[in-house]
Structure formats: C-alpha cells, structure tokens
Structure 1
Amino acid sequence: MSEILSFEEFVSKRNEARAVIKDYVIDCYIKKVKEKLLEENPGISQRQLKMKTRQARDSFKDSAKCRELMEAVPLENVSKSLRKAYDTYCEATKKFIAYEKMKKDVVEAIPEQIKDAYPKARLLRRKFILHIGPTNSGKTFAALEKFREAREAVYLAPLRLLALEVYENTNYAGVDCSLLTGEEEAFIEGASHVAETIEMADMNKRYDVAVIDECQMIADEGRGGAWTAAILGLCADEIHICMAPHAEDIVKRLIEYCGDEIVEIDRRERMTPLELDPDNCRFPDIVKPGDALIVFSKRSVINVAAELQGKGIECSMIYGALPYETRKAETERFLNGETKVVVATDAIGMGLNLPIKRVVFLETEKYDGYEMRLLKPEEVQQIAGRAGRKGIYEEGRFTACGGRKFIRQSMKMSPEEIDFARIRFPGFLVAVEGKLSGVMKRWNELETESLFLKTDIDQQIDLCLWLEDHSDDKETIYRLINIPFNEKNEDILFLWKTLALRVATENSIDLTHEIETLAREKKRISGMTDTSQHIQQLEFLYQKYDLVHNFIRLFGKLDTRDANKELLRKKKKEVSDELTAILKKKKLKRRQCSSCGRFLPYNYPYGMCSDCYEEMQARRYNRYYGYYGYGDFEDY
C-alpha cells in the first residue's frame, strides 16, 4: 500500500466498501422480514421474533440473492456510510504509510557499522591499555595512577560509590577533580579531571586519558550498552580498560573493530593468596572478627544483623539501597575497628576496599531482576576475592554456610568468555520522523552485527507510550525516559509521572515545592517505631530525592536551579544522617515466631516456628475430625 485510493477506486476495489453495501442490503432485507413476521403473527413474542430474524439473516447474508441485490443498490442510498468508511480508510492508510516510512528511515539512519555512530572517535587513532586481573590484583589502582598524572582525564565508574571514592581521593592527592553522577554533582572550578558514572560519559569532549572500570559489565542486559558506547565512542588519546579476564576477548575484538591500537596488556594476579577456610561453617557460631557475611537481599542483611546483635556481635551493614554517606559511615566503622564484622550484599564485590579476612557466603542464590538463580562463577570469585587485602592480611579465606561444595567448585571454574557486547538505543534515532515509541520498537526488531546484542528497553518503551499521550516533544520524552529510578516502587513511579507531566506542559520547572513536600514526609517517617520500616522508608525517601535531583539537573528553571540543588543536598544529608544514626544504634528487631515469640533464624522460611505450626495443625484436626477419630470407637 503505497498511495491512497480515490473515493471511486475505494468503492470499486476495497472490501470495506463492499461490507458497507452488504450491511445496507441485509438491513433492508431483515426489515422486510420483520414486517412480514409481525403481519402474519401479530402475537409473536420478542424472543421468537429475534430468533427467526437471526435465522433469516444467517441464510441470506451469503446467498446469491444477497449478492444480486448488492450489485443493484444505488450508491446514493449508502453514500453517507461509504464516505465514513472512506475517511476511516484514509486515516488508517496515512498512518500505515507513515509507519512504513519510519521503518525505512530507521534502517537508513543507522550506520552500516555501529562504530560509525561515533564519527568524532573515528577521526582519532586511540591507544588502549588493558588492565586484566581478578579482584584484589591492583588493576584499577594502576589505571588511576595514569588518570591522576594526565593533563585532562575522565574516570568512568560502574557505581556512584566508586565515582565518589575516586573524586575524593583525587582531590585529596592534590589534583582538582569534579564529580558527575545521575544523582549528585560537584563541579570544581578549573578542574581538569572528572569522575563519573559510566552512563554520564560525554562522547563529544576530548580527553588525554580515560579510565573505564569493571568492563566485564559490558554484557549486562540492562546497563552493558554504556560500556560498549564508551569503548566505541570516547574521544581520548589513551584509554585504560580495567576488567576481569573473561572480558578480554570481547574487548579486544571491539578495539580491533574500531581500528584502534592496543599498546599494552597489563596482566595481574592476586596480590595475596585466597584459600578455602578449613573450618566447618554454622551461622552464627562461626562468626569471627574480619568476616564479611554475604547475603543477597536487604531483608537478609537486616535479619542477619539483628541476629548478630542478639548475640552481642557489633556489625556494619552494606547494601545497594543505602545512601553513599551512610554506606561510607558503615564502612568507616568497620575500618576503624568499631565493628568486627560486615554484613553485605554483592554490592561489596565491586571496588570497596575493606579489611576483610574471610568472606562467608550465607546464601548462594540471588534474584537478578528476572529470576531467582544460583550465583555464577564470576560472581562468586568477584565477591570472595574481597578477602585478604594486601598490607593487612597475608592471605584471604572464603567459605559458605550451606552450599560449601558449590562455592568451592565455583572458585575453581573458569567463567564463560563474554562473546558479545550490549548496545543501547541510539539517541540520534530520536530525529527519525514518527512516534518515538514506534522508532524504539523498530530498533528492537532489527538484527545487529554479530558482535552485539541490544540492551533491554522494554521499560523505556512503556514509559514512552505513556508520555506520548501527554506530549509530542520527542527530545523531551527521550530525556525523561532515560532518567534512572526505581520503577518497581509505586510511589517513586507516581512521583516520576507527576514531574514528567509538569515538564511536558511547562518545559522547565521549579521543584522547591516537591522538596518541601518530601521534607514533610521525612517528619512522618522519623516518628516510626519499627526500625526495619523506618530504614526502608528513609531509603525510599532518599531515592525520591535522587529522582528530584535528576529533574532539577535536566529541567530545573535557571533562576531556581542552584537554590534547589543546595536545598536538596541539605535534605539528602538529613536523611543519610538519620539512617546512619539508626544503623549505628542497631536496635533491630529479630525475627520471632508469630505465635509463641520464639526467635527464628534469619533465613527461616516461615513466620511461625515448627512446634507452633504442628500444634496449630493438631488443633485444626481435632476441631474438624475429633468426633470421628479411632478413640471414639474403642468400646465397639
């Protein structure tokens, strides 16, 4: 379908026109049938009338008589209905033609090779230095030395925590360094260095040196596209890539694909040996000073910490949802010996340098956002590798409470080589004519070069479809759907939608009212008596502040932006300070049986102890079956 038919052509060729004429003929025929039935049977019921007319319609609609009458119908009798059908056809055809053009435009807009989407980088002859090694091998330290020595440099981190750490350490070393993450920014006047989360990378700025950290994340389904984009598009003369060994092959292939040069491969081994702890493991009896107890959910972290608290063991808590300041405070308590043990999720496995003597896996399964699954060998090795920091311990140890054999085998296995790099939706496709959601869907349908797989953009498409009901500004929609936030939390999703609607109507917004509203929410949260709920609500509040920061950064009014940022920093600090104080007090409630109050292990799968459950089942049995038990018939 390449053009719209004229009205005359529509009437003679299209099935929609034939359907209009057929409906007219059937309606006329049924009208006469009804009149005849009522004339011959004045007392006929409505039910009988409907049944007989239905039978008449079914036998007539496909008959030769019907077709004959259709040919004889004067068009003026159905002109109004035909015009309406023609208008519907024209509207649908225009949409179809536009969609087909959009599909063609998407294909034409994408370069034959993805690397050519970064033309500035293609003009350079970039030199790559690969730092390859396991955890605790010093690979990132070596790259950061080159970062600090450079005239102008960028460090790209997988986590805000690492970007902040590099920002602080670089400034402490006397090199002015700015910070830029989705949630925080600190610009130092005249700074020649910047530490960023990798999604914030600027592909148009020229650097002498760039450092890309934890590049094995290039295969991550949600975020891997940011690492691929950095390798393909960073405009830097010298690029240092830090990665685990199983990412070496794909990174080399990408560099070769770009036509750039690998000038050095810095292979490193662990700086201290890592051994399986020979002692049997039974929590909480086995806990020793210097242990890192690993679980894979915030709930488990809190439950384990509560159980340790009940045993009189002071511990630090580290997991992904904690604000940076709180996580830093918990880390420092462990560093200075105020706590002897750290309870953490796999957030500990990436970049946190702690004096851990032994890593103890209390769990061997994690929810990865899609399903509950066993840990992968590379995940086990990354986490276990945190034990035995050089200069503090001569060796590191690892063990597990349950799944010990699995952990031991995982440590011996070689992780599967990464054989593809993720690519994200290219921003330049926003310029393609048509709805952004349609362009994104078309992008998702296209096949990629063999080196690549696409990142998951289903959530972005859903948000895009919702926004398109409120705005036609594709650039604004694209910026909005790329704001990171916890879309699984209904309150945070509602806040995003509220602010997105304001942006759609006002373009730039003042968020003073939203910040003050969240401050009032904090007063309510501060009155909570349940410690676990108190912690969770403060974390959600901090995430809302992070979301508001992104809106200020991208859409804040110029005359209020700086004041909003300053007010927001103050409010975020109040939340993190309150969280830090709560965790320091450790007034955590241990899990208890809902019936007898007996303490339950942190990982007990039920809310009632086995004794109470059996007693409850016995009472139920006696209530329903007691009169018919064998005891009632002993004398017979």
Structure 2
Amino acid sequence: TVEEFARFRHQPLDVVVIDEVQMMADSQRGWAWVDALVSAYTQDLIMTGPELIQPSLKTLCELCEDELVIKRTKRLSPVEVARRSTSLKQLDEGSMLVAFSRKTVLELKAMLEMTGKSVSVVYGALSPEVRREQARRFREGEADIMVATDAVGMGLNLPAHTLCFYTDEKYDGIQNRQLKVQEVKQIGGRAGRFGHHDSGTITALDAQTLQSIKRLFHSADLPVDLSQFQVRPSIEHLQAIAELMGEPSLLRAWLTFNRNINYGDEFISVLPDELAEWIKLIDDPSIDLPLRWIFACTPIRGGLDSPASIFAQQWLKKVAQDKVVDLPRLIIDADLATLEGSLHIIETYLHLARTLPGHFPALEQAEQHRSLLNEAITRELSRRKKPRGSDRRRLSGEARHCQQCGKAMPVLSRQFRLCQSCFRDQR
C-alpha cells in the first residue's frame, strides 16, 4: 500500500510510480499519497490518475517547485451503457458483477453458482496474492463470472466484456450513499479491455439502477482542486510536544499539534477518525511514546474489534516489557472468515517484524504461514456453497419495490418490505 512507501522516504530511487493519485483527496488516507508525492527521493516521479486531479497536482508541484508534465491517454476500446437491465441468470461468461460488501459478494457468488456458473471473487479483506489468483482464474477462463466489490477498480487486470452493477449505492463507513460520478466511471471502465474485446458494456440488475448508473456515467467529471493538502506529524513533532507540555498521551499530543501548528494555507494536519480510535486502545502512558507511535502506524485490517487488533494490543504490551513475540499457531482447517482473520494477524506480524525485527524474529516463518493461508483461502473460495431455500426463491422470484420510496429492490433484499436507505432512515 502507499503507506508502506514511508520506508523508502530517504532512499535514492531511479524512478517512482504512484498509481491512483486521485486518492490524495481521500479523507482517511489522502495524507499517505501527499506524503509519498512530496517525499519521493527521485528525479522522475510518474503519477497516474484521472484528469479531474490535475488542478491539485499542478498546485502541489508549484509548492514543491517541481516541473509537472501532463501526458494524456485515450481509451482504446469504447464502452457504452446497455439499453436494458439484465438478471443473474442472463449474465454470461466474461461478465463482472460489482457489489459493495463482502457479505453481498459471497451471497451473489452462491446464487450464481446455483445457475451452473463458476465464479471468482475479489473484495477488500482478501490479500493481494489471493486477489491476483482470483483475477487469473477469471482472466484465463477457469471462472465464468467475477463478483467483486469496488476494490476491483484498482490494481487488477480484468478483461470483462460486461460490467454489471448490483446497486447504485454503497455504505462508505458513515452512511449509505449514492455512488459518485468518478466511482461509476472508475468501476465501469473495467468493461471492454483493449486487446480482449472490441467494446465494453455497462449494465445493472434492474431498470431503475441502470438509469441511475447511465446518468452518472455520462455526467461530467468535477475537477478536484484541494483547498488544503493533508499531512500528519512525525514522531519527532509529537515527542517535542509531549516533552514541552508534560503530556504523556499520544492522542492528546497529536490533537494539540493539529490545533496549534500552522502549516500555512496549503496544508492541514489530519487525524483520521479510525486512527484516533485505534490510538485510544494503545495509548498507555507507561509505554514509551515512540513504541506507541510504531503500533499506531501499523496497518490493522478487519477493524478495531478484529483478531488482528486484539493480537496487536497484546504484542504491544509484550514489546514494552522487552519480550520476544512468538508467531501465533497456524490454523488452516477453518471457515473462510476465520482464515481471513488469521491472515490479517500474520500480515500485522510481518509489518512489525520489518519494523521491530528484534522483538518479532519469525519473519521467514510468518511469510510461509501467509502463503499457506492464502492457499487455504483460495481453496475455500473455490468451493461451491450449498444454496439455501431463500436463495432459490430470490433467484426465481419477481422483482419487488420498496413499499416506501418505490425503488426497485436488489435481488438479495426481495424478502424485505423496505430498501436499505428507507430502513436506515426509520431506525
């Protein structure tokens, strides 16, 4: 991930390539892209992304007194939005179905397998290795259909001739909202890859969603001209504040920095909400501040109540006592959720083994465990789940509409009276 680039900050490099540069505008992770862009120690920095981020890149390069050369490319195969919606039964080989949660992806996989099709899946909880293997199965024809979250929009070569949206809404961690123009274009652009298909088609599972997707896909991009670029303090900054104020809390030192340090009009120090919550869990004043900082900067996949989070908190206490952390016992005879949780634990260990090798010495063994878990997850994803009776009814049932707003209900929600948005509004 781009956060890992911090390890190369002071290392001379011939060329640095930063993909998806529009993510510098992301509220949670934008700081990492900005940090990589301004700290890359290279003569040639190549950035790829959509046209809409150009104004912000131009401003940032001017601030850094760097020359910016713009090179535009054109899409080589056309893509169009279908006139009519489709159905799960009508999706043919080489199609990709995009939903917006792990649960929905796996449920759609099971329903498609009921129709006799083989399915690959991609979602955020999977490791890059498993995602690439799932992509290979689809690309080489071992899987008829790919079902994925919007994680498929970045970093994978997937030659689908048809891209089908399950819905036009996603939960963004705060609210259930309609997809943005750029999100629809980023995902829809996966249809019809040059060299594989003469053209691509975008469709949806119901007429109402299709009309919404069509409107968004044909809407003009809104340029992203950031008023301020996100940055964050270094441990040296926070240590200085902690010593000056006699403040033992990492979180309060960071908040003090944000309130009092003025970067000027161009930059702003940020503390993402999820990171603030993670720091609260590890902010023990009896533990050295630099050690708390290392763990605060450690990626924790699966959320704050995940197995990786629980293990990391235990490991922090061990390291604070100058103890060596043993690699957790490997369990590969388990269900998919358990395997994913185990993989996230190993990935956390690997990150810390590169940062604190004296306390996390089992780097090679952890890499072996990661490979075994990736293989186990791939096997589990290849298994066909026994369909439930409700799945059969939803697959064969007529389309239903929300009794409150009248919107067409996604196939997995047809046993309910209300759509997800109306249900959330009533709670």
Match of 1:573 among 371, 377, 390: 371
Task: Give the whole-Å Cα distance in 1 for the aligned partners of 2:318 and 2:411.
Answer: 44
- Which residue of the other structure, out of 494, 501, 504, is the alignment partner of 2:310? 494
Q: Deviations over 1:29-85 (max 9, x none)?
A: xxxxxxxxxxxxxxxxxxxxxxxxxxxxxxxxxxxxxxxxxxxxxxxxxxxxxxxxx
Distance 1:483 1:413, change over 3 A: same
| Deviation of the 1:452 alpha carbon | 3.5
TM superposition shift of 1:463: 4.0
Please give the per-residue CA displacement for 1:550-607, whole angstroms capped at 9, x wherever unaligned.
Answer: 222222327x72xx1121122222211111112223x2243434xxx9643484337x
**Superposition CA RMSD, Å:** 2.3
Residue 202 of structure 1 and its aligned partner are, at CA, apart by 2.2
Deviation of the 1:458 alpha carbon: 3.7
- Relative to the length of structure 2, the TM-score reads 0.85
> Alignment length, in residue pairs?
391
Aligned residue type for 2:151 = A
2:40 is the counterpart of 1:224 = no
Pick from 393, 396, 407 the counterpart of residue 197 of structure 2: 393
Contact 1:503–1:555 under 8 Å retained in 2: no
Match of 2:352 in 1: 551
Q: 1:291 aligns with which of 95, 108, 113?
A: 95
* Contact 1:215 1:227 (C-alpha < 8 Å) held by counterparts: yes
1:312 aligned residue (109, 112, 116):
116
Q: Which residue of 2 aligns with 1:383?
A: 187
Structure 1 match to 2:41: 235
1:448 CA drift (Å):
5.0
Cα distance 1:328–1:467, how it changes in 2: closer, same or farther (>3 A)? closer
* Distance change in 2, residues 1:579/1:315 (3 Å): same
Larger Rg: 1
Equivalent residue number for residue 584 of structure 1: 382
1:325–1:210 CA distance, 2 compared to 1 (3 A): closer
Counting helix residues as a fraction of each chain, which structure ranks higher?
A: 1
Q: How does 1:92-491 map to 2 (within 5 A)?
A: 158=2, 199-262=5-68, 264-278=69-83, 280-402=84-206, 403-420=209-226, 421-432=229-240, 433=243, 434-435=247-248, 436-446=250-260, 448-469=263-284, 471-486=286-301, 487-491=303-307
**Paired residue type of 2:367:** R
Report deviation, 1:451: 3.1
Q: Which has the higher contact order (CA 8 A, sep 6+)?
A: 2
Q: What is the identity percentage for the equivalent residue pairs of Structure 1 and Structure 2?
A: 26
Query: Aligned with 2:133: secondary structure?
Result: helix
Secondary structure of the 1:580 match is helix
- Please tell me whether the aligned partners of residues 238 and 257 of structure 2 are also in contact (alpha carbons under 8 angstroms): no
1:326 and 1:472, CA in 2 relative to 1: closer, same or farther beyond 3 A? Answer: closer
- 2:289 maps to a residue whose letter is K
- AA aligned to 1:300 is T
Opposite residue 97 of structure 2, the aligned amino acid is L
Deviations 1:426-466 (A, max 9, x none): 33313312333222011232465333344333444444444
How many Å apart are 1:417 and its aligned residue?
1.8
Change in Cα spacing, 1:416 to 1:456, as seen in structure 2 (3 Å) is farther
Give the 5 Å matches for 1:40-119: none
Question: Distance between the aligned counterparts of 2:280 and 2:89, measured in 1?
Answer: 54
User: How far apart, in 1, do the equivalents of 2:256 and 2:389 lie?
Assistant: 53
- Report the counterpart of residue 600 of structure 1 in structure 2: 394
SS where residue 413 of structure 2 aligns? Answer: coil
Q: Kindly provide the amino acid, as one letter, of the partner of residue 489 in structure 1.
A: D
The 1:397/1:282 distance shift into structure 2, 3 A limit, reads closer
- The superposition leaves residues 394-442 of structure 1 with CA deviations (integer Å, 9 ceiling, x where unpaired) of 1111112231111111111123222223222333313312333222011
Partners of 1:429 and 1:439 within 8 A in 2: no
- CA shift in 2, pair 1:238/1:367, >3 Å: same
> TM-score scaled to structure 1, two decimals?
0.58
Q: Which runs of 4+ in 1 moved over 4 A?
A: none
- The 2-side partners of 1:501 and 1:574 are apart by 28
How has the CA–CA distance of structure 1 residues 555 and 393 changed in structure 2, closer, same or farther, with 3 Å as cutoff?
same
